[in-house]
Amino acid sequence: MLLVTLQVLSEENQKDIIRFCKDEHLLLLADEVYQENVFAENKKFFSFKKVSRSMGYGEKDLSLVSFHSISKGYCGECGKRGGYMEVTGLDNDAKEQLYKIASVNLCSNISGQILMSLVMNPPKSGEESYKSFQQERDSILASLGRRAKRFAEALNKLEGVSCNEAEGALHLFPRLHLPERALKAASAIDMPADTFYVRKLLDATGIVMVPGSGFGQAPGTWHIRSTVLPPEKKLPDIISRLSTFHQRFMDEFRK
């Protein structure tokens, strides 16, 4: 299980969450779309359903909805849309309402449905395409891991920026320590400081990042969220443009 901060929950963390949800009679929504994107060598993905069953909890003990998608992982990487959810531990009346909502919504497009089927039923050992499938999958995941590591290292070299190493997923979530003048300039136009930063970044470089203020960050802290999806050959140029902008931004508001 991966958090928005790109850290992988340990199995013990997951057990604590499961116990809490069981004791408080809460529905557990498990967004497990990044299950293939685990980069840290000492970390592993565990589904909440598997962990809850290992604890002896069945459908009568825990209400759980597990989500998966092709838009992450190695197959659709934020370009294709399609997914599913598995619902366990809900009573029939609740399930009927879910089916009712689903029946009036549009389904994902045909290519998304086909890709989701392929993700759920990949080539198996001994089949003609298995070797090439393995090679392509492993190549994509390894490349994403290298990009995450390189980008995190570059961010940590910037003045006033701290970024945890990405243990998984497809994003980085660095923290910004901005000069007081930058905070005041943002406040003067009634804008969160991280939004102020990313808008200036976009205008100056064409690089799009998302302000952390949309992710429930701690009050008084500022973050940005960036993907690691640009092709590896383009990453040096992106890092160079970001570094140049950031230094000019800090110099401008340090005066």
Give 184-242 as a DSSP string: HHHHHTT--HHHHHHHHHHHHH----EEGGGGTPPTT-EEEEEES-S-GGGHHHHHHHH
Name 177's Cβ contacts closer than 8 Å, sequence gap at least 6.
160, 161, 162, 222
Distances in Å between the Cα of 244 and the Cα atoms of 226, 238, 248 are 17, 10, 6
Q: What is the mean pLDDT of residues 180-189?
A: 95
Confidence class for position 6, pLDDT limits 50, 70, 90: low
Which of 6-20, 97-111, 178-192: highest mean pLDDT? 178-192
Predicted confidence (pLDDT) per residue in 39-95, tens digit = 777 888 899 999 999 999 999 999 999 988 887 767 766 667 778 889 999 988 988
Name 174's Cβ contacts closer than 8 Å, sequence gap at least 6.
152, 155, 156, 161, 162, 163, 223, 224, 226
Predicted confidence (pLDDT) per residue in 139-168, tens digit = 988 888 888 889 999 999 999 999 988 777
Residue 81: per-residue pLDDT: 78
Residue 4: per-residue pLDDT: 52
pTM: 0.79
Comparing 216 with 133, the larger pLDDT belongs to 133
Report how far Cα 97 is from the mean position of its chain's Cα atoms: 29
How many C-beta atoms surround the C-beta of residue 185 within 10 A?
A: 17
Residue 37: per-residue pLDDT: 79
Confidence class for position 3, pLDDT limits 50, 70, 90: very low
